[in-house]
A and B are shown apart, each in its own frame.
Chain A
Amino acid sequence: MLKGFRTILKKELKELIRDPKILVGMIVVPLLMFPVLGFVLGYAAETAQEQAQEAILLVVDNDGGNWSQIFIDYLKTSGIKTSIEFNLTPDQVVDQGLLAKNNSTQFIEIPVDFSINMTHHIGGNLETIAIINSYVIFQGGGVFSEIGSSTITSIIYNFNRIIAPDALYTYQSTIIKGKIQEGVDPAALSGLMISQALALPITIMVMLTYSMQIAATSVAMEKEEKTLETLLTMPVDRFSILMGKLSSTIIVAGIAAITMMIGYNYMLGSITMGLPTESAIDLVALGLVPSPFGYLLLGISLFITLLSALALAVIISAFAEDVRGAQALVGYIYPIIFIPALALIYLDINTLPLAIKTIFYAIPYSHPIIASRAVVLGDYTIVIFGIIYVAIFTLVIMYIASRLFATEKILTAKLRIGRKKEKQKD
């Protein structure tokens, strides 16, 4: 064994274990964060399933034959709540808002020659098959948004097993922004949206944590080097000190938001390029990329959230004695950033249970992620609401910060935590 290795290892372990930053960051946070995340995902899955079971399936029977009646009866015996309409084209269903009236997000159409095709197939003409047209409203693409369409798929699978193998097929289409997109499989679209929605939350997480560290370090550095103490005795408005510090980070945050929008736009434009042409879903053609106004709103949302995080980092680090302490304190906020960001990669906020939805909306850092989905669907109200909410949150934070800078608390805040230390130091 190397000489002195054990002694050094022992000392290193002691130091690491006794450092609260490591203990909290590497042990407590993951132990807490993943169970919380798991709970959120599990709860969301359960709710989505319950909702799918509760949901009414609108059936448009344009066939009116005996096979269509058999199929509808089969749906009913399978426990699906149905509402039947007759002789409507899919476009009429969408245009007349029948889905909303039935509080439903999907419908199936039994087309005109359904019974004839079924009869042919059963009669031995195996090449003839019957089709059920399925239409699902695209809601933003969380993992559970396809539960509804997968229910139909499994029912048809079971129907075939009872009647005849390969007799019945579904033709999947998606309703995007009130328009039917023929042949767009909602499950495939969801998968694509999740894969492209992955990049933004991760980038936002990285950007928030990075910039918060930088802001915290800059304030803590001033405290550690006592340059802040010096500044506070100068003939300078204390609010100027705070605003100067914040403004420099605002400029950086602004540049970051713009560069991120440019990069994000480029990514969305090129995302379909690598896919084989048959299965290619062109997001641009489907209108599933943000409009210029959408980009603007997303940029603003990102900017204001960054600003809010930076302001919070400045305040928190004002309570720290040194750079290490500031970084540790800022680290306590990370789970609040990470949990909604990670959860919203998989989940669509609209499909979440009310309690979780409320918590996610209350956390300012989830708003750019919510916005990134909402601008794609053209749901600008929620984005604007988010921007206003985060702006108010930021103003409150900045007000507290300015109060802190105006009093001696900026220097003595730490004393309340570690009084004994200060006495020795003095």
Chain B
Amino acid sequence: MLQKRLIGEINLILAVTAKKVIKEFGTIRALNELSFEIKTGEIYGLIGPNGAGKTTALRIISTLLLPTSGIVEVFGLDVIKNATKIRKIITYLPEEAGAYRNLSGWEYLKFMAKFNTENSDEIKQVINEAAKISGLKKRLEDRAKTYSKGMKRRLLVARALMTKPKLAILDEPTSGLDVLQAYHIREIIKNYVRNNNVTVLLSSHNMLEVEYLCDRVALIDKGKIIIEGSPQNLKGKYGCENLEEVFAKVVGHA
């Protein structure tokens, strides 16, 4: 009994556990014994070159793909056995995702909120929260097809955070956005996580973004984690001024 409670508490601390995860598509091995852990409340970044396996890792944790072998747990729940339970506590934002073109921002948020709660007061509360996060104000009444790339991304990030999920999985949250738009998104994520005890797992190409946002980062290449640590640690360890240099040093010579 005591042991069970202890395990429960440990699991509460770990938002994500990945142990020796392998994912194969036919003959191609996208993840090669990938292992890492994410603590509750931290912002964890996966960085790496194109084709490194970042998206595959995020998709497995979001219960979209099944691992070929290995263990993946989200708050102690196994992604294979407990996918339905996991879907209640996570949100996932795919890279370059869109919204329904012919729904307005409000309608989109309401549509998504209804999957988490059926109580109309709660729905109202949730979408008001999303409206606040997105900062889109009056434009929420317009159809999503009229939105700019930045506005669409703000809407989707707001959607991913509005239900205060235990774990938000964000795939390239600022890719393709201009400096100001990206800045706005980063501020949203940082502030929201700090105030609401949300754990975030994100992937990014942008080292500055990762450095600014993440408590810890993992550099992934060819389906494996090469180095892991806080941005400060990594920079110190490799004697670099920023993560970009660390990245070039490690991947370039790997």
CA distance A415 to B23 in the complex (A): 13
Partner of A419, one of B25, B88, B116: B25
Residues of B with C-beta under 8 A to A415: 25-26
Stretch from A205-213, A230-238, A296-304 forming part of the interface with B? A230-238
Residues of B with C-beta under 8 A to A423: 25, 28, 30, 51
**CB distance A233 to B87 under 8 Å?**
yes
Stretch from B96-104, B134-142, B225-233, B239-247 forming part of the interface with A? B96-104
**CB distance A426 to B55 under 8 Å?**
yes
Given known contacts A233-B87, A424-B50, A226 and B115 CB-to-CB distance under 8 angstroms = no
**CB distance B64 to A226 under 8 Å?**
no
**CB distance B98 to A225 under 8 Å?**
yes
How near does chain B come to A286, taking the closest CB pair, in angstroms? Answer: 49
**CB distance B91 to A422 under 8 Å?**
no
A127 interface residue, CB < 8 Å from B?
no
**CB distance B115 to A229 under 8 Å?**
no
Contact pattern, B 81-98, Cβ under 8 Å of A = 1, otherwise 0 = 000100110111111111
Minimal Cβ-Cβ distance residue in A for B62: A233
CA distance A415 to B64 in the complex (A): 14
**CB distance A408 to B66 under 8 Å?**
yes
Partner of A426, one of B26, B51, B84, B90: B51
Residues of B with C-beta under 8 A to A196: none
Minimal Cβ-Cβ distance residue in B for A416: B26
**CB distance B64 to A419 under 8 Å?**
no
CA distance A412 to B52 in the complex (A): 18
Give residues of chain B (44-63) contacting chain A, Cβ–Cβ below 8 Å.
50-56, 59, 62-63
B251 interface residue, CB < 8 Å from A?
no
Partner of A233, one of B25, B50, B53, B92: B92
B65 interface residue, CB < 8 Å from A?
yes
Residues of B with C-beta under 8 A to A235: 84, 87-88, 115-116
B112 interface residue, CB < 8 Å from A?
yes
CA distance A225 to B97 in the complex (A): 5
Give residues of chain B (103-159) contacting chain A, Cβ–Cβ below 8 Å.
112, 115-116
**CB distance A408 to B64 under 8 Å?**
yes
CA distance A426 to B55 in the complex (A): 6
**CB distance B99 to A227 under 8 Å?**
yes
Given known contacts A225-B98, A426-B51, A230 and B26 CB-to-CB distance under 8 angstroms = no
Minimal Cβ-Cβ distance residue in B for A407: B66
**CB distance B30 to A230 under 8 Å?**
no
How near does chain B come to A226, taking the closest CB pair, in angstroms? Answer: 4
Residues of B with C-beta under 8 A to A243: none
Residues of B with C-beta under 8 A to A419: 25-26, 28
Partner of B30, one of A226, A233, A408, A426: A426
Residues of B with C-beta under 8 A to A227: 97-100
Residues of B with C-beta under 8 A to A422: 25
A411 interface residue, CB < 8 Å from B?
yes
**CB distance B25 to A226 under 8 Å?**
no
CA distance A366 to B66 in the complex (A): 41
**CB distance B53 to A426 under 8 Å?**
yes
Partner of A232, one of B25, B64, B93, B99: B64
CA distance A227 to B144 in the complex (A): 13
CA distance A408 to B65 in the complex (A): 5
**CB distance A233 to B115 under 8 Å?**
no
**CB distance B65 to A226 under 8 Å?**
no
CA distance A371 to B93 in the complex (A): 49
How near does chain B come to A214, taking the closest CB pair, in angstroms? Answer: 13
Residues of A with C-beta under 8 A to B64: 229, 232-233, 408, 411
Residues of A with C-beta under 8 A to B65: 408, 411-412
**CB distance A234 to B87 under 8 Å?**
yes
How near does chain A come to B102, taking the closest CB pair, in angstroms? Answer: 10
**CB distance B55 to A229 under 8 Å?**
no
**CB distance A234 to B97 under 8 Å?**
no
Residues of B with C-beta under 8 A to A226: 94-98
Minimal Cβ-Cβ distance residue in A for B87: A235
**CB distance B25 to A230 under 8 Å?**
no
Residues of B with C-beta under 8 A to A229: 64, 92, 94, 97
CA distance A398 to B91 in the complex (A): 28
**CB distance A236 to B26 under 8 Å?**
no
**CB distance A424 to B25 under 8 Å?**
no
**CB distance B99 to A225 under 8 Å?**
yes
CA distance A416 to B24 in the complex (A): 12
Contact pattern, A 402-426, Cβ under 8 Å of B = 1, otherwise 0 = 0000011001100110010011111
Partner of A230, one of B28, B52, B97: B97
Minimal Cβ-Cβ distance residue in A for B83: A233
Residues of B with C-beta under 8 A to A234: 87, 112, 115-116
Residues of A with C-beta under 8 A to B50: 424-426
Residues of B with C-beta under 8 A to A230: 92-94, 97, 112
Residues of A with C-beta under 8 A to B116: 234-235
Minimal Cβ-Cβ distance residue in A for B96: A226
Minimal Cβ-Cβ distance residue in A for B56: A426
Given contacts A226-B94, A424-B51, 6 further A-B contacts (CB under 8 A): A221-B101, A225-B97, A229-B64, A230-B92, A233-B63, A426-B54
What are 15 A-B pairs at a CB distance below 8 A?
Answer: A225-B98, A225-B99, A227-B98, A227-B100, A229-B92, A232-B63, A232-B64, A233-B64, A235-B87, A415-B26, A422-B25, A423-B30, A424-B51, A426-B52, A426-B54
Top 10 closest pairs, chain A to chain B, by CB = A225-B98, A226-B97, A233-B92, A226-B94, A235-B88, A234-B115, A235-B87, A233-B62, A229-B94, A408-B65
